[in-house]
Structure 1
Amino acid sequence: MPAVIDKPSQLFFAIAETLRGAGLGLKVGSHQDFDAVLDRAWVLIAIERDAPGMRSQEGRIAHALTISLQAVAAVGGERSGFEACDLASGLKDLATDNRWGLSAAQCDLPMNLEGLPSTLIRGEQQYAAWTLSFTQTLYLGQPLLDDPTGIPKFARTWEVSNIDDPDQYQALEG
């Protein structure tokens, strides 16, 4: 059974692990990890936004995360923009229908995948890049609808002071 996802950063690490294991020979990390050594292509992962989403059917709180994967090609010069574009296209193929090894109960499939040309700037140096952006929803924590005895519970928002408090839920009548 997969571990329970309880932090948005777990998606970052799951994506990084998947990209490293994909056999593409990439360096993978965050923008802070970028060392400007382009012996291999880089993919820089960032969580750009955390928006609310619809709760899961199990009552978990939804986090609709906007993720960006910035592809920086290993080659220099005039062709590096095309190489970065090709790398971003490969990343899009990999990201489509990928939950990065996380459980389907806590991680939806990526939505709204879009690749755009970009530039990575480090000090005085500019690097041609492409950025693949998408939204992926995580449902964090334990299910709220089950108590330890396994009895399904519910709460109406207008009847409780805190919908996130499982003690305010009541058993469904069967």
Structure 2
Amino acid sequence: MSLDIDKPSRLFFAIADALRAVGPGLKVGGRQDFDGTFDQAWVLIAIERNAPGDRAHDGRIAHVLTLSLQIIVPPTLSNPGLAAGDLASVLKGLATDNRWGLPGSQCDLPMNIDALPSTLISGSQEYLAWTLSFTQTIYLGALLLEDPLGIPKFAKTWEVSNIDDPDQYTALED
């Protein structure tokens, strides 16, 4: 996978890859991937929301993504709800301070990490689960500091009439 983030789904796949690397004890995918088989515990990843945020210092547009990781363990365990809660705690530790291998200039650290008991309903079956949720900001799009030729430009707010007008920017001198 390219290190450059060009769409929100890159974060989804980066998280999935990081969870798979934790060990062979997890099945990782989206909600549509859950098939009800339990040779391993499941972690279902979803992007729940894409909210606006403050632009990055380089001008990229911020996407504040709300993500959820729903943890389901085999229902044959003596207490699947507690086992899912324990796994949620482990994943909470993994999510803390993790950019999932993505560049720091385009991916902030997770914020507002929270884990709650939940239920997954698949067909007529109900599964005790836990859902770990957090927000993570990614920055997409072109750098505003560069024109299409890649020449860094700047403008002094006190010298231009409109800071948002790219024609009022001048090239940086070497």
Contact 1:155 1:169 in 2 (8 A): no
Contact 1:26 1:43 in 2 (8 A): yes
Distance in 2 (alpha carbons) for counterparts of 1:22 and 1:169: 50
Q: Sequence identity of aligned pairs in percent? A: 57
Q: Which residue of 1 aligns with 2:169?
A: 170
> Alpha-carbon deviation of 1:61?
0.1
TM-score in terms of structure 2 length: 0.87
Distance in 1 (alpha carbons) for counterparts of 2:91 and 2:168: 43
Q: Which residue of 2 aligns with 1:58?
A: 58
- Show structure 1 runs of 5+ residues with no match: none
- Residues 75 and 59 (structure 1), Cα distance of their counterparts in 2 relative to 1, 3 Å cut: same
Distance in 1 (alpha carbons) for counterparts of 2:77 and 2:23: 25
Range with bigger deviation, 140-149 or 49-58: 140-149
TM-score in terms of structure 1 length: 0.87
Deviation track 1:77-128 (CA, whole Å, cap 9, x = no partner) reads 5500000000100110000000000000000000000000000000110011
Q: Which residue of 1 aligns with 2:152?
A: 151
* SS of aligned partner of 1:21: helix
- Residues 155 and 85 (structure 1), Cα distance of their counterparts in 2 relative to 1, 3 Å cut: farther
Contact 1:85 1:129 in 2 (8 A): yes
> Alpha-carbon deviation of 1:143?
1.6
Counting only pairs closer than 5 Å after superposition, residues 5-84 of structure 1 correspond to structure 2 as 5-23=5-23, 25-76=25-76, 78-84=78-84
Runs ≥4 in structure 1, deviation > 6 angstroms? none
* SS of aligned partner of 2:66: strand
Distance in 2 (alpha carbons) for counterparts of 1:130 and 1:152: 48
Deviation track 1:144-170 (CA, whole Å, cap 9, x = no partner) reads 2123353233597x837xx5x8x5561
- Show structure 2 runs of 5+ residues with no match: none
1:109 and 2:109 correspond: yes
- Match for 2:169: what amino acid? Q
1:97 and 2:100 correspond: no
- Residues 126 and 172 (structure 1), Cα distance of their counterparts in 2 relative to 1, 3 Å cut: same
> Alpha-carbon deviation of 1:75?
4.3
Cα RMSD between the aligned structures? 2.2
- Match for 2:33: what amino acid? D
Distance in 2 (alpha carbons) for counterparts of 1:36 and 1:22: 22
Aligned pair count reads 168
- Residues 52 and 168 (structure 1), Cα distance of their counterparts in 2 relative to 1, 3 Å cut: farther
- Residues 145 and 169 (structure 1), Cα distance of their counterparts in 2 relative to 1, 3 Å cut: farther
Distance in 1 (alpha carbons) for counterparts of 2:155 and 2:80: 55
